[in-house]
Amino acid sequence: SDVLKQVPVSRRWLERRVREAIGVSLGEEIRRVRMECAKRLLTETTHSIADVAKHSGFTDIRHIENTFRAHLALSPSEFRQRAIGSPKPIAFPGAMSTR
For residue range 41-65, what is the model confidence (pLDDT) as tens digits?
Answer: 999 999 999 999 999 999 999 999 9
- The whole-model pTM stands at 0.74
The pLDDT score that the predictor gives to residue 36 is 96
Q: Is the pLDDT of residue 27 over 70?
A: yes
Task: Catalogue all structural domains in the chain, each as residue range(s) with its CATH number.
Answer: 2-82 (1.10.10.60)
**Residue environment code for 30-40, b if the CB has 16+ CB neighbours within 10 A, otherwise e:** ebeebbeebbe
* Spatial CB neighbours of 23, under 8 Å, sequence gap ≥ 6: none
Residue 92's pLDDT is: 54
Q: Is the pLDDT of residue 9 over 50?
A: yes
pLDDT beyond 60 at 88: no
In the structure, what pLDDT confidence band is assigned to residue 21 with cuts at 50, 70 and 90? very high
AA letter at 4: L
Burial 79-92 (b: 16+ CB within 10 A, else e): bbeeeeeeeeeeee
| Tens digit of each residue's pLDDT (9 = 90 or more) over 60-80 | 999 999 999 999 999 999 999
State the pLDDT at residue 84.
85
